[in-house]
Amino acid sequence: MEITLSDRFATLGHPARLDVLRLLIRRHPDPLPAGEIAVVLGLKPNTLSAYLADLLQAGLITRARSGTFLRYGPDLAGIRALTGALWTDCCLGRPDLCPPAALIDPFGDRPMTSARRYRVLFICTGNSARSIFAESILRKIAGDRFDVFSAGTKPQSDLNPLAVKMLQSKGYPTGDLRSKHVAEFQGGDVTAFDFVFTVCDRAANEACPPWSGQPLSAHWSTPDPVKATGTEAERMLAFQHAYGMLRNRITAFAALPLAALDRISLQHALDDIARADGVSQ
């Protein structure tokens, strides 16, 4: 049966179903089990089951079995069909109503060139370990090409001491690092970012206001080393694992030919990096 534009609009007309889709898009490319979706959004399992069935029928989400779980993600083809229909049927192709440049030009009036510096923000919940790692790694690897920052949605007052200890053992400067709130980087007087990455699931789960300048974004899920227990040596292994995962991803990101890629190709590359879980020491 053909799925019409009105079918998809009717499905998304319910705020809770729209919240489910928004969450799955924020967590893409990681598909989520229904139980996690229910916990994050505070929905009863039977209620969520009905919402998922409606979104599946409308061709807006996907479902696949992974082990003993069914996992759900956004149906990118269905979402493209929805936005494409808006462009052709509702906007009648008028660029002043639905400007297609945002889908083609990576940064609008901030063109990509090999000479410009890119602004990057890494976000996690506490801004005490993982996002601090990411900020430090990219600044060390490619600080000549990137202005790098990190922040938390609910930042800690102090950096995690084991995170600081590990960075210092690897030769990173830590004197200027501090825990910051994302609000420092939002508002009309703040220079727009080119890239915004979430590195923890809790931060990605939160519905943050849109970032000005339409930065490219991706979710690079990284286990939280702060939750590790045991001896200090055992806990340091968890910090090493998180550091290694982020270093691998950030090395791949810094190697991308940014000036040569259009926005869609670059987004695909960022999502591919998210799927690469190899850890370097």
Rounded to the nearest 10°, the torsion over CA 33, 34, 37, 39 is -110
* Sheet with 69-74, side-by-side order of all strands: 32-33, 69-74, 61-66
d(CA 109, CA 115): 15
Token output for 54: 């409606």
- Report yes or no: 183 and 153 within 8 Å, Cβ to Cβ: no
Instruction: List residues bridging with 65 in a β-sheet.
Output: 70
Distance linking the first and last C-alpha atoms of the chain: 51
Token output for 205: 């789960």
> 90, 91, 98, 208: which is the annotated catalytic residue?
208
**Type and span of the H or E element at 123:** strand 118-124
DSSP letter assigned to residue 225 = G
- Judge whether 208 counts as a catalytic residue: yes
- Judge whether 91 counts as a catalytic residue: no
> 90, 91, 98, 124: which is the annotated catalytic residue?
124
DSSP letter assigned to residue 190 = S
Q: Which active-site residues does the annotation give? A: 124, 200, 208
